Structure 1
Amino acid sequence: MSAPLVSVSYVSTATAPFDDERLADLLTQSRRSNHAHDLTGMLLYRRGRFFQVLEGPQDAVEHLMDAIRRDDRHSDVRILLSERIDERRFTEWTMGYEPIGVPTTAAPEGFRDTFDDLESDDDDDATIRAVRELTVWFRARTLAGTALREKEDAR
């Protein structure tokens, strides 16, 4: 019988800003390590904050979360959602990444501009809903972008 699968969603604060080159290095390292440890997931970075979903065998996810807590690139690591899963949601990505630009105009009402609302101490259900919304948004946006690039490549 295979090890149970878990999914952990967390937020953290970068101890120093990440530019495109530093993010690319982090993604290369993460993808190589995640592939070796049978982990999949997604990463969002915006304004010095990380939001990440990791999924895979429980021991591997727990080991990586311990390493992230000790990593001097992160501070204020906070687990938002930890759950057993029957199947992976990010089978396509050892570490999917979506750049999020900083808007030049005011965000529309209800638009999530930061990850701050994910950390509400008042409403765990709202936090779980927000985590799941971000997960669905990421998958839809990334899969649509992949389909568009494949269509353009076919021309």
Structure 2
Amino acid sequence: MTAIDPLVSLVYCSSATHPFSEQELAELLAVSRARNSAHDITGMLLYRGGEFVQILEGARSDVEALMEKIGRDPRHRDVRVLLEEPLHERRFEEWTMGYQSLVAAEQGMKSGYRDSFDDLRMGDHDMIGRAIMELTLWFRVRESAV
């Protein structure tokens, strides 16, 4: 990355225009991973109940170009950038698109379990930052256990 095209992290959420099956998610991931690898974009994708949260890392121009595509993608609606910040180093360097499907909360789950992305749409920058850091840590711990 250069000073002209710095490394950034961008987090967005969106709603699917229809519920994605496991097969549709697998196809989306295969295409996304190939495209991201070609553009040196890394990150993670979370999906639950028709809602996406994604973290993208890469050169600002590449991440912005990808966001333009996502914004035009007919499978998404209500695309919102939640957070964009400069990065000194990648948090998802080893993943062109790490993925986790979140399940609905079950009775008896520990308190603090995130069973919704609704709070991310509220617009409180500090709360969004904390939630993204929690999701990032949760994702990395689950991936390292696989």
For normalisation by structure 1, the TM-score amounts to 0.88
In structure 2, stretches of 5+ residues that fail to align are none
CA distance in 2, matches of 1:66, 1:34: 14
Equivalent position SS for 1:32: helix
Post-superposition CA distance 1:61-104 (Å, at most 9, x none): 00000100000000001111100101110011000001222344
Report the counterpart of residue 126 of structure 1 in structure 2.
127
The structural deviation recorded for 1:106 is 5.6
Alignment-mate amino acid for residue 76 of structure 2: H
Query: How many residue pairs end up in the alignment?
Result: 144
Is the CA contact (8 Å cut-off) linking 1:107 and 1:113 kept in structure 2? no
Report the counterpart of residue 26 of structure 1 in structure 2.
28
For normalisation by structure 2, the TM-score amounts to 0.93
2:107 to 102, 105, 108: 105
Is the CA contact (8 Å cut-off) linking 2:120 and 2:131 kept in structure 1? yes
Report the counterpart of residue 148 of structure 1 in structure 2.
none
The structural deviation recorded for 1:19 is 0.6
Report the counterpart of residue 46 of structure 2 in structure 1.
44
Q: Give the number of the structure whose alpha-carbon radius of gyration is greater.
A: 1
1:81 to 76, 83, 101: 83
After TM superposition, the structure 1 stretch with the greater mean CA deviation from structure 2, 105-114 or 16-25, is: 105-114
Moved over 4 A (4+): none
Is the CA contact (8 Å cut-off) linking 2:18 and 2:75 kept in structure 1? yes
Post-superposition CA distance 1:76-135 (Å, at most 9, x none): 0111110010111001100000122234426443221011111223x3211111111111
Alignment-mate amino acid for residue 39 of structure 1: I
* RMSD between aligned residues: 1.4
Report the counterpart of residue 93 of structure 1 in structure 2.
95
In structure 1, stretches of 5+ residues that fail to align are 146-155
The percent of aligned pairs where both chains have the same amino acid is: 54
